Amino acid sequence: MVRVIERIGERYEVQEVEFGRVYKWCPECVVIECDCGEMTILTPSMAMCRCGADHTALVREELLSRGIRSLGDKVLHPWRYAKNREGAGLPF
């Protein structure tokens, strides 16, 4: 039996680099424990375990059936709310 361990919502991860910040989009995902005993992170575009088990139906049920949620502007555009943006060339 496949067991859902955790659901993680979509978000941007902020990475500090030499000349500023990079914003990396991370899609919504679900962490499961497969029948084979492996813990796997699944997304709507990658729903197979290393053992070859296809968990597409589980991913759809856990993530996609909840529908598209309305995310706030701060979540969708975190660079707009970054401090010390003067001279960074970001118009918004």
List C-alpha distances in Å: 51 to 23, 33, 36, 42. 32, 12, 7, 13
49 pLDDT higher than 70: yes
**For residues 69 and 84, what is the distance between their CA atoms, to the nearest angstrom?**
30
| pTM for the full predicted model | 0.61
Q: State the pLDDT at residue 91.
A: 54
Q: State the pLDDT at residue 33.
A: 93
pLDDT in tens, 32-45: 999 999 999 998 88
60 pLDDT higher than 70: yes
Q: Which amino acid is at 33?
A: E
